Amino acid sequence: MGFCLTDKITVLKGIGEKTAVLFRRMGVETVEELLRFYPRDYDRIEEISRVAELRDNSRFVVRGTVCSGVSERKTGRLTLSVAQAADESGKLQLSFFNMPYIRGTLKKGAVYYFRGKVHRKGNGFTMEQPVLLSPAEYEKQRGKLLPVYPLTNGLNQKAVRKAVAQVLEAAKKEEGLVPEVLPSLIREEQGLCGVLEALSGIHFPEGQEEMIRAKKRLAFEEFLVFLLLIRKMKDSAEAVPNAFPMLETADTGRFLEGLPFRLTKDQEQVWRDILGDMTGSYTMNRLVQGDVGSGKTVLAALALLLTASNGYQGAMMAPTEVLAVQHFQTLQGYAKKYKLPLRPVLLTGSLSAKEKREVYEQIESGGCNLVVGTHALIQEKVNYHKLALVITDEQHRFGVRQREAFSRKGTGSEEEEKGQMPHVMVMSATPIPRTLAMILYGDLHVSVIRQLPTGRQAIKNCVVDTGWRSRAWRFLEKEIRAGRQAFVICPMIEASEESDLENVEEYTETLRANLPEDLRIEMLHGKMKPAEKNRLMDAFGAGMIDVLVSTTVIEVGVNIPNATVMMIENAERFGLAQLHQLRGRVGRGEYQSYCIFINGSESDKAKERLEVLNHSNDGFYIAEQDLKLRGPGDMFGVRQSGILNFRIADIYQDADMLMLADKACGEITAQEAWEEKPEYRELALLLQRSVRNNIDFPGI
Ligand code: ADP
Ligand code: MG
């Protein structure tokens, strides 16, 4: 053996420089990182099904006899080989793409276990790309859970499995190779397993139960470290004297008078909270939580205006370029329309080097007093001038440390006086049940906007299966003819062999073929250049595009009041909270809006989950139902991608662990100088390491 956790993975057998490069792409450089590279799912071979039991769109194993020869068809570069197999209950078609050698393999009369996804074709079923297993191979795999890692091209599951197994083997032999960070007292109290058991249980579980046990322990550990980190931030942010005390000026009043609407009661209260903070004795540290469409942006505008009127600079950061540009335009529009003393600049990654230099110059000299942008705002090169307020929008998209880095921007360095801290405001639409929010938002004061502006009509929802698709398209057409616009969301960007999920590229083509030619249908996805994405969003915003087929890149924040239809394909693949965010893209204007969830699965469970959205437009209620509907068995089923992505823990599924970790965190930090006690040594070291390595946790 003779390696330790901090060694590069090239110390392992079978991993050379080339493979190491591939691992690095997934953030795995050291042995420790490899151990913490968790599977995204598990593969378990299905029990044998009879042909008569097959259902559309699911995976099965069928024990069948080959009952025909293999016929071959060529279309372009594609070779399609087709054969028939049967069991005593019926016949099944097998189809293979670009596997011409299958002709020599499949022998008429031979018995195989065929494993693959089946589709209904006419009266029967076709299994696509089946994997062929001998009876012995099938028996060997039965009942086992094989880890499936989130991989990059060029690396296969086998290679990762082998490497991980090697480390686990070594760890079992060599005590202390993988140190235990949880003191035994805590583990016993909470009934958690040890670190080795957890790691081997998460990578190579004997069965579901072991995997669940492992996940619980690892989730607890992750939460605990997160909470200890938050606690530190809280201690250092608490009661910092207000370095930028402000006075209320006439500008904010004038702005409010001029707006075409009146603030709702909740918005008014939040504005009073903000005003109280910024004019008060202590620096603001406030989270504004409000469901999608509740009107958070105008509150940000007010706070930024107050800052500018007092002669200071303010900055607002958004997670995507599309959203940053939109905020910039909104604020610039306000400044012009109401003659406000705001001089905004936009700073994003897609500016040219020259443009960036000019913007940096304006920021540093104080030529502008409002900076709007993306992550580019927290880069080292940006030096602010009297920065008194930083706002993070859609802050669940940023890490806790990014948020912290932003608030440090005014002070220059970590060590400098606390007295220079700018006011901090973060905005989020993540509806988190109150009990969990209290724990997760530990370092912030919270203002909540519960009511939506009046005059909004509730969005009408429907959950339907794929058979309804063409009717949904007709509906889109009808809305467009009435002058409205529509979004269609697909989970994937392009077609792939591994997935049957709808993809943006093909879907756009299909829509163009199925809707009248004069409708303007365009696509948008994350692989496009930022400038191209901006152009498309601008065109959509200006009404030059009727239907935008997109991945979830449009999920956060975008405001297009004329869009009234949100159609989501493979809705079963998204988390409820994420679907709710997507739905929030419509229903923002005066028109009746609609959300069509297309359920691509036949499972009752998927239907039950989606029905929650069908019956409620209340984000908090939805989050709570989501929590209730998930059992521990769903483990990796549906992740709320983009929302609170811890490495392994999921605040909804592992809510029990979050509460236990919170309790433990309280008990630990209540002890005088706990970091120096021997039982917490490894934990304190881990904490130091994660600070030093800049390991981030999701913002909430
Ligand atoms: P979110 O909270 O999701 O960020 P936005 O700030 O984008 O929501 O607001 C959504 C829309 O509601 C915007 O067009 C905004 O101008 C409008 N709006 C905000 N507050 C009010 C209000 N009190 N009355 C009517 N419309 C409002
Ligand atoms: Mg917003």
CB neighbour list of residue 313: distance below 8 Å, 6 or more residues apart? 307, 363, 366, 368, 369, 370, 371, 384, 385, 386, 387, 388
Q: Find the CATH number of the domain harbouring 75.
A: 2.40.50.140
Token pair of 648, please? 């392994």
Q: What is the dihedral of CA 229, 233, 235, 237, to 10 degrees?
A: -170
Number of Cβ atoms within 10 Å of the Cβ of 327: 25
> Ligand 1 centroid to 434 CA: how many Å?
24
Burial code of 192-204, b = ≥16 C-beta within 10 A, e = fewer?
A: bbebbebbbbbbb
Q: Which atom of ligand 1 is nearest to the CA of 561?
A: 14
What's the rounded mean pLDDT across residues 322-328?
90
Share of the chain above pLDDT 90, in %: 54
Burial code of 205-217, b = ≥16 C-beta within 10 A, e = fewer?
A: beeeebbbbbbbb
Minimal-distance CA residue to ligand 1 atom 23: 263
Q: Which atom of ligand 1 is nearest to the CA of 455?
A: 25
Q: Which ligand is nearest to the CA of 262?
A: 1
- Return the ∠ at Cα 549 (arms to 547 and 552), rounded to 5°: 130
Percentages (nearest 5) of helix, strand, coil residues in the chain: 45, 20, 40
- Residue 292 confidence (pLDDT) above 90: no
Let me know if residue 63 belongs to a domain.
yes
CB neighbour list of residue 276: distance below 8 Å, 6 or more residues apart? none
Do residues 336 and 437 both lie within one domain? yes
> Ligand 1 centroid to 293 CA: how many Å?
6
H or E stretch at 475: helix 469-481
d(CA 581, CA 583): 5
What's the rounded mean pLDDT across residues 472-476?
96
Which pLDDT does position 623 carry in this prediction? 74
Closest CA to 265 of 307, 289, 294: 294
List residues, by chain if needed, whose CB lies under 5 Å from ion ligand 2: 557
Residue with tokens 């000299």: 365
Let me know if residue 22 belongs to a domain.
no
Number of structural domains (the chain) is 3
Query: Best substitution site from 298, 331, 428 to test ligand 1's pocket, by max atoms within 8 Å of Cβ?
Result: 298
- Residue 433 confidence (pLDDT) above 70: no
Residue with tokens 């000026």: 249
Let me know if residue 504 belongs to a domain.
yes
Domain housing 540? 460-629
> Ligand 2 centroid to 441 CA: how many Å?
19
What's the rounded mean pLDDT across residues 358-385?
94
- Label the pairing between strands 445-449 and 344-347: unpaired
Residues with CB under 6 A from ligand 1: 261, 263-264, 267, 290, 292-298, 429, 453, 557, 559, 561, 588
> Ligand 1 centroid to 589 CA: how many Å?
9
CB 23 within 8 A of CB 155: yes
Which pLDDT does position 395 carry in this prediction? 80
What's the rounded mean pLDDT across residues 341-363?
94
Q: What is the dihedral of CA 556, 562, 568, 574, to 10 degrees?
A: 20
Minimal-distance CA residue to ligand 1 atom 20: 295
Which pLDDT does position 140 carry in this prediction? 81
Which pLDDT does position 49 carry in this prediction? 93
Query: Best substitution site from 267, 270, 581, 588 to test ligand 1's pocket, by max atoms within 8 Å of Cβ?
Result: 588
Confidence of residue 500 (pLDDT cuts 50, 70, 90): confident
Per-residue pLDDT tens over the stretch 539-549: 998 999 999 99
Let me know if residue 516 belongs to a domain.
yes
Cα distances (angstroms) measured from residue 247 to each of 279, 280, 312, 526:
6, 9, 12, 43
What's the rounded mean pLDDT across residues 184-206?
93
> Ligand 1 centroid to 559 CA: how many Å?
9
Do residues 424 and 489 both lie within one domain? no
Token pair of 504, please? 């943006």
Do residues 484 and 588 both lie within one domain? yes
Which pLDDT does position 226 carry in this prediction? 86
Q: Which ligand is nearest to the CA of 316?
A: 2
Closest CA to 212 of 151, 145, 131: 145
Do residues 275 and 393 both lie within one domain? yes
Do residues 613 and 475 both lie within one domain? yes
Cβ-in-10-Å burial (0-12, 13-18, 19+) of 329 comes to middle
Cα distances (angstroms) measured from residue 58 to each of 53, 88, 665:
11, 21, 44
Between 214 and 589, the more confident residue is 214
Which range has the worst mean pLDDT, 133-147, 243-257, 377-391? 133-147
Which range has the worst mean pLDDT, 39-53, 320-334, 520-534, 616-630? 616-630
What's the rounded mean pLDDT across residues 471-493?
96
Residue with tokens 């120096």: 676
H or E stretch at 533: helix 530-541
Per-residue pLDDT tens over the stretch 544-570: 999 999 998 776 667 888 999 999 999
Minimal-distance CA residue to ligand 1 atom 18: 295
Output the average pLDDT for the chain.
Answer: 87
DSSP 680: G
d(CA 657, CA 637): 18
- Residue 495 confidence (pLDDT) above 60: yes
> Ligand 2 centroid to 298 CA: how many Å?
9
Which pLDDT does position 415 carry in this prediction? 43
Burial code of 421-455, b = ≥16 C-beta within 10 A, e = fewer?
A: bbbbbbbbbbbbbeebbebbbbbbeebbbeebbee
Closest CA to 596 of 429, 456, 482, 466: 466
Q: Find the CATH number of the domain harbouring 397.
A: 3.40.50.300
Q: Which atom of ligand 1 is nearest to the CA of 267?
A: 23
Token pair of 221, please? 């550990």
Which pLDDT does position 639 carry in this prediction? 45
Token pair of 506, please? 């093909």
d(CA 688, CA 667): 19
Which pLDDT does position 615 carry in this prediction? 87
Do residues 244 and 283 both lie within one domain? yes
Q: What is the dihedral of CA 500, 504, 508, 509, to 10 degrees?
A: -50
Which pLDDT does position 21 carry in this prediction? 92
Do residues 408 and 500 both lie within one domain? no
Do residues 516 and 430 both lie within one domain? no
Q: Final residue of a domain: which of 449, 477, 495?
A: 449
Cα distances (angstroms) measured from residue 1 to each of 12, 13, 196, 204, 287:
9, 10, 17, 21, 50
Do residues 466 and 610 both lie within one domain? yes
Sign of CA dihedral 339, 343, 348, 352: positive
> Ligand 1 centroid to 423 CA: how many Å?
23
Let me know if residue 157 belongs to a domain.
no
- Residue 59 confidence (pLDDT) above 60: yes
Q: Final residue of a domain: which of 449, 472, 502?
A: 449
Q: Which atom of ligand 1 is nearest to the CA of 299?
A: 6
What's the rounded mean pLDDT across residues 398-403?
76
- Residue 178 confidence (pLDDT) above 80: yes
Which pLDDT does position 643 carry in this prediction? 45
Do residues 311 and 441 both lie within one domain? yes
Which pLDDT does position 238 carry in this prediction? 67
Do residues 498 and 365 both lie within one domain? no
Which pLDDT does position 697 carry in this prediction? 59
Let me know if residue 27 belongs to a domain.
no
Do residues 479 and 345 both lie within one domain? no
Q: Which atom of ligand 1 is nearest to the CA of 393?
A: 4
Cα distances (angstroms) measured from residue 81 to each of 77, 86, 123, 622:
13, 17, 20, 47
Closest CA to 599 of 505, 461, 692: 461
Q: Final residue of a domain: which of 141, 175, 207?
A: 141
Number of Cβ atoms within 10 Å of the Cβ of 476: 25
- Residue 413 confidence (pLDDT) above 80: no
Q: Which ligand is nearest to the CA of 293?
A: 1
Closest CA to 126 of 101, 98, 90: 90
CB 409 within 8 A of CB 377: yes
Token pair of 453, please? 């502006």
Which pLDDT does position 653 carry in this prediction? 76
Closest CA to 240 of 423, 105, 396: 423
Let me know if residue 8 belongs to a domain.
no
Minimal-distance CA residue to ligand 1 atom 13: 295
Confidence of residue 637 (pLDDT cuts 50, 70, 90): very low
Minimal-distance CA residue to ligand 1 atom 10: 293
CB neighbour list of residue 104: distance below 8 Å, 6 or more residues apart? none
Let me know if residue 402 belongs to a domain.
yes
Which range has the worst mean pLDDT, 6-15, 31-40, 449-458? 449-458
